[in-house]
Amino acid sequence: MTDHNYDVVIAGAGIAGLTAGLLSARAGRRTRVLTGPALGGHLLSIEHIDGYPGFPDGIAGYDLCPIVQEQAVAAGAEFGATSVTSLAAHEGRWRVTTGEGELRAGVVVVATGTTSKALGIPGEARLRGKGVSHCASCDGPLLRSRAVGVVGGGDSALQEALTLARFASRVIVLHRGTTLSAQAAYRERLRDHQNLEVRTSTVVEEMLGDTVLTGVRTRTTTDGTETDLELAGLFVYVGLTPDTAWLNGTLDLDSSGGIPTDDAMRSRLPGLFAAGTVRSGSVGRAASAAGDGATAAVAADRYLSDGAWRV
């Protein structure tokens, strides 16, 4: 019979959860990593991770994450392809309810990351997956030589626009603000692509098309002009929401839904840690998420050794 008792259960297998799994298993703790819907998380769909140590030319998330998983498995971590649906404290340990039954753990590390925000405009729900996407490297190649739009003005939007410029005939970045907030390196790279255009002060009001996206209706905020643009794809990067709804009041969250922690990734509840972008104040980079995972695993090991929770 399977033993469902673990030292450490990790909810999430993005780079934060994978790194926490690796270090926890290396510390000799019986560790289970629950992957949720996507082993690799957001990185899985990123073709070129910028700024990750050790890879000066970038690396694809779908190459990096399986390597870290293999490393974690070699160290003894067990993986389960299921989601955590709730947590409850019970006699100094955690009861972890998953899609495949209940586990018990001395420590839980929440590394469930974020979900891309929707625009919440007419046509969006109907056309999601039918031209409306949050993943340029997944859906960009299907739109080769077509015109596509990108909504947003931050790092993610520009990085994905640069990926799309390799496939699409034309990429139009639609940004509601007057200036792009993305880092200078991305703004400078826009100039290398003649098929890439930026329209600021532009709001997307409606997605058009019955069964597939055929275009969008935009409004210019300066003078209210409405324009219909013909587009075969629209990629939306207008922010991220921490994946914490499933915690359902187990602990207090910040106003954005993130989990407040101290420097050791400890939440306010004994034995409950958070790592990566699900955490309040995360800087949102892959390297910082991996660092959070490592810190949580080391702090969890100490907690399991001395039982103390000094926040």
Ligand X SMILES: Cc1cc2nc3c(=O)[nH]c(=O)nc-3n(C[C@H](O)[C@H](O)[C@H](O)COP(=O)(O)OP(=O)(O)OC[C@H]3O[C@@H](n4cnc5c(N)ncnc54)[C@H](O)[C@@H]3O)c2cc1C
Q: Which residues bind ligand X (CB under 6 A)?
A: 11-17, 34-39, 41-43, 46, 49-52, 83-84, 111-114, 156, 159-160, 237, 243, 246, 276-277, 284-287, 289
Check if the beta carbon of residue 18 is closer than 8 Å to that of residue 68.
yes
| Nearer to ligand X (CB atom), residue 71 or residue 221 | 71
| Nearer to ligand X (CB atom), residue 239 or residue 307 | 239
Nearest to 151 by CA among 75, 229, 212: 229
Q: Which residues does 26 contact at the CB level (< 8 Å), separation at least 6? A: 75, 76
Q: How far is the CB of 86 from ligand X (least distance, A)?
A: 9
Q: What is the DSSP string of 162-204?
A: HHHTTT-SEEEEE-SSSS--S-HHHHHHHTT-TTEEEE-SEEE
| Nearer to ligand X (CB atom), residue 14 or residue 271 | 14
| Nearer to ligand X (CB atom), residue 46 or residue 208 | 46
Q: How far is the CB of 296 from ligand X (least distance, A)?
A: 11
Q: How far is the CB of 225 from ligand X (least distance, A)?
A: 29
Q: How far is the CB of 177 from ligand X (least distance, A)?
A: 18
Q: How far is the CB of 130 from ligand X (least distance, A)?
A: 20
CA 200/CA 198 separation, integer angstroms: 6
Check if the beta carbon of residue 274 is closer than 8 Å to that of residue 109.
yes
| Nearer to ligand X (CB atom), residue 28 or residue 88 | 88
Q: How far is the CB of 211 from ligand X (least distance, A)?
A: 26
Q: How far is the CB of 109 from ligand X (least distance, A)?
A: 11
Amino acid at 143: L
| Nearer to ligand X (CB atom), residue 67 or residue 225 | 67
Q: Which two tokens stand for residue 109?
A: 């590390």
| Nearer to ligand X (CB atom), residue 38 or residue 217 | 38
Q: Are strands 101-110 and 93-98 parallel, antiparallel or unpaired?
A: antiparallel
Nearest to 128 by CA among 11, 239, 212: 212
Check if the beta carbon of residue 138 is closer than 8 Å to that of residue 45.
yes
